[in-house]
Structure 1
């Protein structure tokens, strides 16, 4: 059938089975243009009725080319996820679904191509997940019926195909996140177990019988494939289909059968004169591994049930016996690389099978240990029977399984056998050193990947839970190898590995400082064949112990030791040794008690060798790991890193270029530049001209790098701002990129707001200039209000406070008025006042009519903080803004609109605002914020506004509370003696700017730290004494009212006598 290009739009190509076939042929051709046009047409049709029905029709037609059928079934599979749900937009209609369902199982059974059969099985499983049992109640029963029918024929592939379908149905239902799917599976489990269990045993008997009589019979392989699929299904079914498998009699029977099969299969594949041919032997090994996975899954997912199933402890001992036997051939007997070329492939497969089986055995033991000592906790309600089973299982494991001899045997075998390096390790060490180190570092994080990684975790578990009984045997073994004359390098490496991992457990039992000076120093200097193994191990060992127990003198020795291990001129320091030392020096430098002075003598040598090593290695992951070490060194060595800064920076551009599309490397480079900038403080300025273009190219929204490096670029940008003494033109040129970043409601918002704040510290005049001020306020406006997060709201309010303070300092009241006008024009002040109005309205309502405030708590405090700064800058600007600013709508929309009909007249705005402010003051816990608000509210007295003087009682109560909190009084709380008068000024007033230093003695301040300190020093909260301030302002009000008598008669008479008495007791007036 000829193919053609699809050029016309979708409307000109109506969907039919024939046109779909043409399109699929085009999309699966080798012509790039036809692929593009065909794919585009398929995308246009995917929402059309009949599309998926026709796809299935194409797949079913076996006369068509395989590639066309494969594309059809893939399109069908992908469409199910998007359009099969009833609630999906353009969902597949009911009739099409019925047609598709009716042909699924039959088309899968008759499929000859395994790839196509697999994709069809995935399609069926996905549909079952959506539709069983509501819309497709017969899905599982019809599948089981097909299993029964196909089971009558032992020669065709039909049974294998239907078993494949059932396998993926069970997988889909057992892994579904919706509990309903798992519940449906559990309801069908007994019937499936009955059918599959019988089939499995039947096929098992058949192929075992034929093996003994005619081992090369081709039908044996078919039978074995069928039984293998059956056990794969049963393994998942029993684990997911029962909450308490140990309570089901059928499961117990099946369990006992699998136990006997483990011994049978092991014997079958282990005997020297086996009747198995290679292919059948592989299949027996696969059966064996499936059984071991079944037993391990049971132990990990049904821990108590596993122990209570018949003969489970015997099963654990059997697996351990196999692992113990395997351990005898596991480790290498020599440190030299032996020629293993031409090794028998079958022998290699046997070894891998034995290793996987041993690994599962070790994981099984570890699961038992964790079940007994670290049981999984759950919020699910547990019935008494379940609790009793759990207690019984824990007791059984502790008493009957983990006996003292058994635990000691496990520990001894693991330490002396499974932690020993293998001959394959020796070979890879020499031939692929970088790759080997990478595998060792990464596999050690996943115990399911290797015997050694699992053994390491097992050592930790046993050392932790059996410390009292294992300490002496372990330390006895350690004393045997911790001898300078013991030169069994592989054995020493294994034992040191165990002790290193258990450093925190044996910290009081081993004198690390003595061990370091008496043994380790001498060991790393030995010049004997194979001692590179010990050098690598000692580097790891020291990194494990330094964070646990090491004196400062020992740390100096360790620095010297690592300097020696990084020396390329020493022939024993091969790449493996040096890379390991370089990677693990990160832990040495990251030690909490790292002493720069003790490290200084070795700094130049170690840093130089690390940089040379980075240039030497080729794998990106290795370069990144070594860069991380240098990055930590920069952070811990602080300003002392300056002599090496040029060389470090000079090393990075080539790495950036070499990394290409590997953005993780670029992230590491940006991180190290940020740390270097922070370490160098103001001396980093010589690098800014190089760094700013990198930032500029990364933070642009349309930049390819932005998606991967934005967070690191912002961190570097902020570091440069913090460490800059002046605002250079290059640094100010980045401001234009700040506004788009503020509009991104992403994870980087906090860092962007921090950058904004740093610019306000560095160059407030620039941010208050005409071109910047209003656009900045418009960018900040959407970040406050009812839809804003409290932390973002707080950071925005902090920036507005800084702008108000800077405007007042740079231009006085006139500058404050101009900034206030911009706050109104940007919509920020209307949104702020709208939030406060909402809070006041809510606090005026109770009961069923009560309203929820748009802002509350810390957000409201932040809003009043902004108003406080505005008052201190200009009372006229504040009163005018509060009176005449139209409020934003209470819904918090960002369209800049205002409230069209405000029920409260403008002249009453100050009244409700002060009422809410005084009401909120009792929720302000920070003394500095309370004092700030006291200064602001007291300053309002100079306006003579009736709303202010009308709150004199509340204001006087605020004076009394804050002064009592912050000032020393002439009062003895024990005896009650004293006048209660104020003695001196409040405790928030600083007398020396150096009191505000935030860095430790001897450390260098960052330029921004100095700027922050100076700004805090000039803050009225810390420069103005509250007692003198209140006295002066109150005297001004009294004078403005026409004297004391008039003030008393007009305003003070309205204040409660007890409030007046409490204030008078302070002796301020």
Structure 2
């Protein structure tokens, strides 16, 4: 036996098959040093020519140790994903690929070891995905030939190996995302079906006709099982309309007969526990998967296949029989024994029942909720769909069957099982977790599927089922009925169908007359129904509950969360804690009605969080508290200290559980927002958490950045004044503006809030330029509209703030900063592109770089510059170089238009854009700015007097009260008073409800809005002043002759009727 020791690598060793063999031996040894050095050498060789060819050579050498061969095939499999594509860097060359392909199938068919055969089959499937049929056209035919070649050999496992290879090929092609792969599979399907179908039939007949249970029979069963596994995938994915293929119809009918015979066979051998029995069950489950997938993926085809509706009835018959042994008979079973959940036959029966229920649900949905598609459908396909829907409604879902299904589901499948009752006691947290999560996926359990089936049946057969269902419900909704398991099941159904029966059940009366008494019972099994009451109330409060009933519900949950009551075991309290989330999240949640129970419920929830152990349970209860904080608002203040004190230990205990940390950060953000400025006492504790989370190199940043930004934003919103700690966080914003594209909106929102909180700090020399440089890449035609809009909003706010803090002198400096950071050049270039595009028509028409709301945002920035200082604006427009729209850093070297014409084309584009502005406040802002340009007496401004007068008339008519009767049109037409956007008192901007506390930022925003010219200056007075000043500046005679004389008489008359001048 050769030695497989390997020396620690120094320089990279040359790749040979023997060297690779020694390296694989080292990497698969038990010596850590050998493993390390071998693994490193393999990583160095994986890009080398011949590496994968040699790996396969080692794998197919059966005399080598299994661990070496296993590592070789694993390395080969992993390399296919990385280097098999032709476009991959260091891709495997054609010659090596050819050698590998030629040996793949034979090496798999004659492999003795199961694990190695499986890995080889996976390798073949992966290569087929890349190369069939272009580079490996005979992949499937070669596999079929291998199957034909060994089909008569019933003594070896060669056929099983060949079938395994075909199974994984079909798996790979049928699940491929690329349509081409599925199309190629469809082309090969008829040949595969012919070979596998006949083989499956012969093998089933062979083992069915051999009464003795022996190893030979088990081999035959294994082979037929591999056949049906492949066939079910093949028929589902290989035919677009399987019902139109005669071979499929024949095979389908055969599977229907086999379902009955396999069920009988399974029941006959149920007393035995043998591999043969398990194989029969696996055959049956594969057939049920086949039938269910056909119903879900080929809905119309399923119905139109022969005897399909009889098949559904057969599955239901099995489920109905199984239902008799499904649930517990008595709550007393908690203390005694368990059911046979672990028994193989019972597990198979349950899975078969589940598939039967899913099949019924699929039929209901295809009849009442057919899947819509954008794919074009031929008329015959549409007719098949209509025919299938009619057959289900008329021939399957009869009134008798629907009532039988509903009754069985409600009274049998929704009943808790003995295993549930046992786990309730033994592992309560785990059981609640399973129940809550399984209910989200109906494919996981019979009860979860039954709940969905109840919802479907009650929705689509309400008129049929209302009488029987409510009759059953009224029979069990009796305080004296002590059959808690049966009662629990019926209430579960009514809770699921709450929206359907909301007008048929008097929930308020039920609550006070029945449920209140039920939770006070002190007898065996009452804890089962207490849990159901918690769930039931959470379901019904969303659809129908009066305000008076909600106070009763708060009392009920307060009682259910009380650990002093022995019947409020951990399952009851955890369920109540989880479902109180829905109570608190009710749209009409009333803080005043909840207040009397707040302390008790919140304290009990917090105590329960400390009591439970599972992270998932703690998170669910934290989510309830989080929702409660949000809905209870500032009333949560008395409990804030205790809530915050509870969180640090949970943070420490969570370790690598970042979902828990996310929940904690969410609670802190909601608590901060709820407390408003009262949250200030916690800010010093929270800021270090934010600081450690938002740093780009922080591990926490990967998982918690979004939640940390929400908390950061909340702290700024609720801070009455800036603190050094809060301002020190500013330095972490700039990397986020550059790199964090997914959280860019949140980052910009935080920056905007800082601008409200401490405008002088952000406009200081230390921060002003860095902020503008960070905003610059976000402004321009290549930026996303959302980011562009927020960046423009911040820039606009900075201009207003600069004007109020430093006047014209500061505005000159700020405008210079806008130019040096390329913000203004980019805006002008974008608008220039829009103007140029709008000047073109016909075949030569160009697309503008910006339009719509983006253009409005740019004109808003220019408007703020005009209102701050018109002279600075004119200079900036005239002398700012236009930025190149192709090169982020470049400028247009030579502008064909002289600089003095910049204002002309800009105003032309501005006035043409006004028709696209729908926001009255924006339109008024543009009016104020364009009118203010009259102060400059610039020819371009005066030359647009006609357009300006039209704008004046439109805005005044829209925003001001005019003396005209809206019906008769009579009146003087004179404007009365100022426009509706002018606020005389800051309280007019208050938008919070009575009894609600205002956030500090809301107050800051209101003050900034109140100081805005849009809300301070009336359009009538503004026009009167600016127009009068312009007339005086140029002289009345010159004004009338040179400028007013060019305006259309109708435009002048329309403006004159307003009586502004």
TM-score by length of 1: 0.97
2:993 and 2:742 map into 1 onto residues whose CA distance is 31
2:338 and 2:558 map into 1 onto residues whose CA distance is 41
Q: CA deviation at 1:584?
A: 0.1
Q: CA deviation at 1:272?
A: 6.4
Q: Which residue of 2 aligns with 1:223?
A: 220
Alignment of structure 1 residues 269-288 onto 2, 5 Å: 269-271=266-268, 278-288=274-284
| Partner SS state of residue 85, structure 1 | coil
Asked if structure 1 preserves the Cα contact closer than 8 Å seen for 2:6 and 2:38, the reply is: no
* Alignment match of 2:1018 (pick from 1010, 1019, 1025): 1025
User: Residue 681 and residue 127 in structure 1: after superposition, are their counterparts in 2 closer, same or farther (change >3 A)?
Assistant: same
Residues 344-371 of structure 1, C-alpha deviation per residue, up to 9 Å, x if partnerless?
89x7111111111111111111111111
Q: Which residue of 1 aligns with 2:623?
A: 628
Alignment of structure 1 residues 374-523 onto 2, 5 Å: 374-523=369-518
Asked if structure 2 preserves the Cα contact closer than 8 Å seen for 1:336 and 1:426, the reply is: no
User: Residue 513 and residue 774 in structure 1: after superposition, are their counterparts in 2 closer, same or farther (change >3 A)?
Assistant: same
Worse overlay, 258-267 or 570-579: 258-267
Q: Which residue of 2 aligns with 1:956?
A: 949
Alignment of structure 1 residues 272-421 onto 2, 5 Å: 278-337=274-333, 348-421=343-416
Residues 731-779 of structure 1, C-alpha deviation per residue, up to 9 Å, x if partnerless?
0000000111111252200000100110011110000011000001000
1:948 and 1:514 map into 2 onto residues whose CA distance is 74
Alignment of structure 1 residues 53-64 onto 2, 5 Å: 53-64=53-64
2:167 and 2:221 map into 1 onto residues whose CA distance is 16
User: Residue 1034 and residue 644 in structure 1: after superposition, are their counterparts in 2 closer, same or farther (change >3 A)?
Assistant: same
Query: Does residue 1067 in structure 1 map to residue 1059 in structure 2?
Result: yes
Q: CA deviation at 1:14?
A: 2.7
Q: Which residue of 2 aligns with 1:894?
A: 888
Worse overlay, 62-71 or 1021-1030: 62-71
Q: Which residue of 1 aligns with 2:35?
A: 35
Asked if structure 2 preserves the Cα contact closer than 8 Å seen for 1:186 and 1:240, the reply is: yes
* Alignment match of 2:9 (pick from 7, 10, 15): 7
Residues 527-573 of structure 1, C-alpha deviation per residue, up to 9 Å, x if partnerless?
00110001000000000001111100000000000000000000000
Residues 871-927 of structure 1, C-alpha deviation per residue, up to 9 Å, x if partnerless?
111112211211111121121x433x3222222222222222222212212211111
Worse overlay, 334-343 or 265-274: 334-343
Q: Which residue of 1 aligns with 2:1045?
A: 1053
User: Residue 955 and residue 370 in structure 1: after superposition, are their counterparts in 2 closer, same or farther (change >3 A)?
Assistant: same
Q: CA deviation at 1:417?
A: 0.5
Q: Which residue of 1 aligns with 2:265?
A: 268
* Alignment match of 1:863 (pick from 852, 858, 867): 858
1:628 and 1:343 map into 2 onto residues whose CA distance is 35
Query: Does residue 696 in structure 1 map to residue 688 in structure 2?
Result: no
Residues 155-187 of structure 1, C-alpha deviation per residue, up to 9 Å, x if partnerless?
101001000000001111111111121111112
Q: Which residue of 2 aligns with 1:994?
A: 987
Alignment of structure 1 residues 7-26 onto 2, 5 Å: 7-10=9-12, 13-26=13-26
Query: Does residue 981 in structure 1 map to residue 974 in structure 2?
Result: yes
1:791 and 1:294 map into 2 onto residues whose CA distance is 48
2:875 and 2:1053 map into 1 onto residues whose CA distance is 35
1:913 and 1:34 map into 2 onto residues whose CA distance is 74
Residues 678-702 of structure 1, C-alpha deviation per residue, up to 9 Å, x if partnerless?
0000000000000000000000000
Q: Which residue of 1 aligns with 2:98?
A: 98
Asked if structure 2 preserves the Cα contact closer than 8 Å seen for 1:6 and 1:23, the reply is: no
Q: Which residue of 2 aligns with 1:809?
A: 804
| Partner SS state of residue 741, structure 2 | coil
User: Residue 501 and residue 273 in structure 1: after superposition, are their counterparts in 2 closer, same or farther (change >3 A)?
Assistant: closer
1:97 and 1:335 map into 2 onto residues whose CA distance is 65
Asked if structure 1 preserves the Cα contact closer than 8 Å seen for 2:143 and 2:162, the reply is: yes
Gaps of 5+ in 1: none
1:645 and 1:379 map into 2 onto residues whose CA distance is 53
Asked if structure 2 preserves the Cα contact closer than 8 Å seen for 1:6 and 1:41, the reply is: no
Q: CA deviation at 1:977?
A: 2.0
Q: CA deviation at 1:6?
A: 4.7
Query: Does residue 750 in structure 1 map to residue 752 in structure 2?
Result: no
User: Residue 908 and residue 300 in structure 1: after superposition, are their counterparts in 2 closer, same or farther (change >3 A)?
Assistant: same
Residues 993-1025 of structure 1, C-alpha deviation per residue, up to 9 Å, x if partnerless?
112112122211111111111111111101101
| Partner SS state of residue 705, structure 1 | helix
Residues 501-525 of structure 1, C-alpha deviation per residue, up to 9 Å, x if partnerless?
0000000000000000110000000
2:767 and 2:11 map into 1 onto residues whose CA distance is 49
Q: CA deviation at 1:339?
A: 6.7
Asked if structure 2 preserves the Cα contact closer than 8 Å seen for 1:998 and 1:1009, the reply is: no
1:473 and 1:1001 map into 2 onto residues whose CA distance is 48
| Partner SS state of residue 902, structure 1 | coil
Query: Does residue 715 in structure 1 map to residue 710 in structure 2?
Result: yes
1:947 and 1:273 map into 2 onto residues whose CA distance is 97
Q: CA deviation at 1:946?
A: 2.1
| Partner SS state of residue 336, structure 1 | helix
Asked if structure 1 preserves the Cα contact closer than 8 Å seen for 2:45 and 2:51, the reply is: yes
* Alignment match of 1:775 (pick from 767, 770, 777): 770
Q: Which residue of 1 aligns with 2:206?
A: 206
2:457 and 2:915 map into 1 onto residues whose CA distance is 56
2:838 and 2:16 map into 1 onto residues whose CA distance is 66
Asked if structure 1 preserves the Cα contact closer than 8 Å seen for 2:551 and 2:593, the reply is: yes
Q: Which residue of 1 aligns with 2:46?
A: 46
Q: Which residue of 2 aligns with 1:158?
A: 158
* Alignment match of 1:764 (pick from 759, 767, 779): 759
| Partner SS state of residue 243, structure 2 | helix
Alignment of structure 1 residues 551-630 onto 2, 5 Å: 551-630=546-625
Stretches of 4+ moved more than 6 A in 1? 339-345
Alignment of structure 1 residues 634-653 onto 2, 5 Å: 634-653=629-648
Alignment of structure 1 residues 810-825 onto 2, 5 Å: 810-825=805-820
1:273 and 1:760 map into 2 onto residues whose CA distance is 75
User: Residue 242 and residue 836 in structure 1: after superposition, are their counterparts in 2 closer, same or farther (change >3 A)?
Assistant: same
Q: Which residue of 1 aligns with 2:789?
A: 794
Q: CA deviation at 1:340?
A: 7.0
Query: Does residue 661 in structure 1 map to residue 656 in structure 2?
Result: yes
Q: CA deviation at 1:277?
A: 5.5
Q: CA deviation at 1:9?
A: 4.2
TM-score by length of 2: 0.98
Asked if structure 1 preserves the Cα contact closer than 8 Å seen for 2:507 and 2:540, the reply is: yes
Residues 435-483 of structure 1, C-alpha deviation per residue, up to 9 Å, x if partnerless?
0000000000111100000110111111111110111000110011001
2:335 and 2:539 map into 1 onto residues whose CA distance is 34
Asked if structure 1 preserves the Cα contact closer than 8 Å seen for 2:174 and 2:237, the reply is: yes
2:531 and 2:938 map into 1 onto residues whose CA distance is 79
Q: CA deviation at 1:799?
A: 0.5
1:304 and 1:344 map into 2 onto residues whose CA distance is 38
Q: CA deviation at 1:305?
A: 1.6
User: Residue 846 and residue 107 in structure 1: after superposition, are their counterparts in 2 closer, same or farther (change >3 A)?
Assistant: same
1:890 and 1:343 map into 2 onto residues whose CA distance is 73
Worse overlay, 460-469 or 991-1000: 991-1000
2:73 and 2:48 map into 1 onto residues whose CA distance is 17
User: Residue 33 and residue 773 in structure 1: after superposition, are their counterparts in 2 closer, same or farther (change >3 A)?
Assistant: farther
Residues 366-412 of structure 1, C-alpha deviation per residue, up to 9 Å, x if partnerless?
11111111111112222222222222221221111111111111111
Q: CA deviation at 1:338?
A: 5.3
Q: Which residue of 2 aligns with 1:77?
A: 77
Gaps of 5+ in 2: none
